[in-house]
């Protein structure tokens, strides 16, 4: 596998689909994941292990994980809301799973129906269970700090709370901490400041990823700010679909196609074939005819002189 500079982690099959009215068929999800992996995307969050009655869009996640695991070179990730979800994810064979701990306790109760202490208790049980497994059967486990930059339910969140929860996640045994701008509140200066503070709290190697939304058009600016602070994994969603169904107004993930174009044009290696990725967008659109997909790169097309992986040099 060739070296890359930035890992683009596709979250559309989970974060994208969970907010849509349309329920994508299992076969369509499989075609999406296979095609995007073939385009060079190396990590895909394929679903979440939540009760089907809450998110019927995610009812087939177990089957999707098992299918995705047959794709060579693909890291298969999933979201888990609690200990039961984690056990189901491990049984299905995920490579990596994350649990969202909302810094806003109001959002935590809306999203997971649990307080901070209750979520931390779930995380403790998950870590203990993972440690009881054979080493070869242990998935990576990250605690993602949701609403880390602000909340549509509470408004601003205190940075001291972010740091406290980040420290507790490490103490409980999470492999790493992720920061999530669940509601699209962040700005580049805030991104830089909070990354520095959290790294000081947990260590540089324990904060490598960030999840950003483009709710107010700052998604790519925030991604660039995160890169400048040493973040190496960026979440994004094909066509920019998604958001949090339990946070009113939390719309719009970063568009994967636009993110890859930005990184490519900067000379950063992602391992992704952008033209192939655009074809995946068109395929997914056919499976979601009633839903709107977003993205400047797909709408505008690639500029003259563009070569995948960067720009041609005029001689």
The model's pLDDT over 231-259, given as tens digits with 9 standing for 90+, comes to 999 999 999 998 654 444 445 799 999 99
Give the pLDDT mean for 65-91. 97
Angle of CA points 237, 239, 243, to nearest 5°: 55
* Architecture of the CATH domain 7-311: Alpha-Beta Barrel (3.20)
For position 106, what pLDDT does the model report?
Answer: 80
- Which one is catalytic: 98, 151, 174, 244? 244
Residue 266 pLDDT exceeds 50: yes
CA 234 to each of CA 96, 99, 148, 181, 231: distance values in angstroms, whole numbers, following the listed order: 15, 17, 16, 12, 8
**Distance of alpha carbon 186 from its chain centroid, rounded?**
16
Query: In percent, how much of the chain has pLDDT > 90?
Result: 81
Map out the domains of the chain as residue ranges.
7-311
What CA–CA distance (Å, rounded) separates 162 from 45? Answer: 24
pLDDT of 251 reads: 58
Residue 191 to residue 159: CA distance in whole angstroms: 11
Q: Is the pLDDT of residue 264 over 90?
A: yes
311's CB contacts (< 8 A; 6+ apart) are: 265, 305
Report the helix count and the strand count for the chain, using DSSP H and E: 11, 10
Residue with tokens 């059967």: 137
Given a cut of 70, whether residue 48 has pLDDT beyond it is yes
On the question of pLDDT at 25 being above 60, the answer is: yes
Cβ partners under 8 Å of residue 283, min gap 6: 31, 32, 35
Look up 98 and say whether it is catalytic. Answer: no
**pLDDT over 50 at 1, yes or no:** no
DSSP state of 186: -
Question: What's the mean per-residue pLDDT of the chain?
Answer: 92
Over residues 199-216, the pLDDT tens digits come to 999 999 999 999 999 988
Mean pLDDT of 188-207: 98
pLDDT at 47: 98
pLDDT at residue 105, rounded to an integer: 81
pLDDT at residue 314, as a whole number:
45
Please tell me the pTM assigned to this model. 0.94
């Amino acid at each position: 596998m060739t070296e890359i500079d930035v890992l683009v982690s596709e979250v559309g099959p989970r974060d994208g689909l969970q907010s849509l009215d349309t329920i994508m068929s299992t076969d369509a999800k499989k075609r999406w994941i296979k095609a995007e992996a073939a385009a060079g995307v190396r990590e895909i969050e394929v679903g979440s292990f939540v009760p089907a009655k809450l998110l019927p869009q995610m009812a087939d996640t177990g089957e999707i994980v098992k299918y995705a695991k047959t794709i060579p070179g693909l890291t298969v990730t999933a979201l888990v809301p609690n200990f039961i979800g984690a056990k189901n994810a491990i049984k299905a064979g995920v490579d990596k799973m994350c649990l969202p701990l909302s810094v806003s306790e109001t959002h935590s109760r809306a999203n997971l129906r649990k307080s901070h202490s209750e979520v931390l208790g779930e995380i403790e049980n998950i870590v203990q269970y993972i440690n009881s497994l054979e080493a070869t059967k242990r998935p990576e486990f990250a605690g993602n700090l949701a609403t880390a930059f602000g909340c549509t339910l509470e408004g601003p969140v205190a940075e001291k709370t972010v740091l406290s929860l980040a420290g507790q996640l490490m103490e409980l045994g999470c492999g790493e901490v992720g920061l999530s701008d669940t509601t699209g509140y962040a700005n580049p200066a805030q991104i830089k400041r909070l990354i520095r503070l959290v790294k000081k709290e947990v260590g540089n190697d324990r904060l490598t990823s960030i999840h950003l939304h483009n709710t107010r058009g700052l998604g790519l600016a925030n991604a660039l700010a995160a890169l400048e602070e040493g973040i190496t994994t960026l979440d994004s969603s094909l066509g920019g679909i998604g958001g949090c169904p339990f946070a009113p107004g939390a719309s719009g993930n970063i568009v994967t196609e636009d993110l890859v174009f930005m990184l490519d044009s900067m000379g950063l290696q992602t391992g992704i074939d952008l033209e192939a990725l655009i074809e995946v967008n068109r395929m997914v659109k056919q499976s979601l005819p009633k839903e709107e997909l977003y993205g400047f790169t797909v709408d505008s097309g690639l500029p003259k002189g563009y070569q995948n992986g960067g720009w041609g040099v005029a001689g």
